[in-house]
Amino acid sequence: MAMETQGVRITRASSITATVSTDYDITSSAITAVGVTFTDDFSTGMFIATTDNTALQCIKTVATTKIEIHGTFGTTGSTARKLTGYTMDLIGEITDFTGPGGQAQVIDITSINSTAKEKLIGIRDEGQVSMTLNFDPTDGGQTGLRDDRDLRTRGKYAIRLTDVATGSSALPSWCYFNGYCLGFSISGAVDNKITANAVLEIDGPVIWSTKVT
């Protein structure tokens, strides 16, 4: 099924909204704990990360001692010491974007006994995400990108796609990644708008999740 670009949301984790330190068990798409009240600090739709899985994940339901998430998270039966919830700011006024997309290095393993080139593929590099924006100095997402570049901050980012209709209770396909804002520049011309260009250098894997209900 084809998806339209209009409505794609690229967001940036701007602040920590909740943190719980405890031993808990990650089984399939649920996180359970004893002695912790999740409903005090976490809510449906919040993005979370744990100390054994730094990629973001979205909360589907919250009960007193159990959080259900969209998809899988961490290793079945594993434990972690901290569960952190994040506020995600929309990066506003994006007009086009490219990425994630990368490639791996080709490693030549040809020997003198080879009859043709022999190769291995190296570890994957997820590349970059580049964005063109209508520059808005008051937009929280754009301000956050500039701050990340200035401070060399490793940020958390999410891209939500459009394979679920607006207002649906289902969650569309999305991807999460960590990265650094490599550049944020502005440009202008006569009889034209001021445009910004931002480049995110992806650090580590891109986590893809398909549409879920």
Mean pLDDT (whole number) for 189-206:
95
pLDDT(128) > 90? yes
Region 28-33: what's the mean pLDDT?
82
Domain topology for 15-86: Elongation Factor Tu (Ef-tu); domain 3 (2.40.30)
Residue 78 has pLDDT above 70, yes or no: yes
Tokens linked to 57: 């994940």
The pLDDT of residue 185 is above 90: yes
* Cα 82 from Cα 20, distance rounded (Å): 6
14-29 tens-digit pLDDT: 878 778 877 778 877 8
Lookup: tokens for 190: 């006569």
Q: Is the confidence at residue 49, as pLDDT, over 80?
A: yes
Q: What is the mean pLDDT of residues 98-113?
A: 93
Reported as a pLDDT band with limits 50, 70 and 90, residue 213 is: low
Token duo for residue 161: 């796609």
User: Per mean pLDDT, which range of 41-50, 93-102, 115-124, 176-185 is the poorest?
Assistant: 41-50
pLDDT at 168: 65
Structure tokens at 91: 């990066």
Mean pLDDT value across the chain:
87
Q: What is the pLDDT of residues 198-212, one digit of tens each?
A: 999 999 888 887 766
Say how far apart CA 130 and CA 201 lie, in whole Å.
9
In one-letter notation, the amino acid at residue 102 is G
- Given a contact cutoff of 8 angstroms between Cβ atoms, the answer to whether 163 and 3 are in contact is yes
**What confidence score (pLDDT) does residue 141 get?**
95
Confidence of residue 167 (pLDDT cuts 50, 70, 90): low
DSSP calls for 45-73: T-EEEETTEEEEEEEEEE-SSEEEESS--
Residues spanned by CATH 2.40.30 within the chain? Answer: 15-86
Structure tokens at 100: 């994630």
